[in-house]
Amino acid sequence: MIWAVVVILLALLAYEVYSAANIKAQRFVKAQTMSGSNKVLLTFDDGPDPVNTPRLLDLLDELHIKAYFFVIGEKAQQHPEIVREIVRRGHKVGNHSMHHNPFHGFWGPHKYYRDEIMAADEVLRSIGIHTNLFRPPLGITNRQIAWACKKAGLHVVAWDVRSFDTRNEPREIVTKRVLTQMRPGSIVLLHDRLDGVCDVVREIVTKSELEFVR
């Protein structure tokens, strides 16, 4: 009997951890998806990067594609002109927290709301950007983060295709991973802070027969 209780508790704990670490589980927040669309949305986290983001913007112009950029508050504070340029070129900007520390969400909802969500929002507003889009660092969600997002009136944007481009693998592997998973209505997670992001995006778009958001 005791072992049965232990097994059940461990199973519940495993489910809780899985749900927190997997934004696609939709356990704590009802994240925005592209369900019902026949197009693919490219999204980029962790910018702006002073070198790679401008190059990526030029490439997206060349390919006639629009994307979402989830920027870190402290980086936006350092490079406000790049964030403005993202919007000027017709892309969407989202809040990606102030410091990109995934553990801040476990410190309490009020602190997360104040120090991560609203601090980044104030930076964006100071450079003329108003957004209601949010993506938590690493896609980690829990009840505290859900409360903070609701209080801030933010729509959390999920993904269903994770490129794992941060693993420092050859771009051919990253490209194949994305192309294999993409479907009509997919949201692809990439990172504009990485060297080689433009090569990956070009290959994804040119090798896929799917339609992208334009």
Q: Which of 46, 91, 191, 192 is catalytic?
A: 191
pLDDT along the chain (214 residues), means of 10: 45 38 58 79 98 98 98 98 98 97 83 96 98 94 92 95 94 97 97 96 97 96
What the block records as the tokens of 167 is: 């693993």
Which pLDDT belongs to residue 15? Answer: 36
Q: Which of 45, 46, 165, 192 is catalytic?
A: 45
Residue 155 a catalytic site member: no
The reported pTM is 0.89
CA angle 97, 101, 103 (to 5 degrees): 120
**Domains by residue range for the chain, with CATH:** 2-212 (3.20.20.370)
Within the chain, strands assigned E span 39-47, 67-71, 92-95, 133-134, 155-156, 161-162, 187-191, 211-212
Decide: 191 and 67 in contact? Cβ < 8 Å: no
Residue 191 a catalytic site member: yes
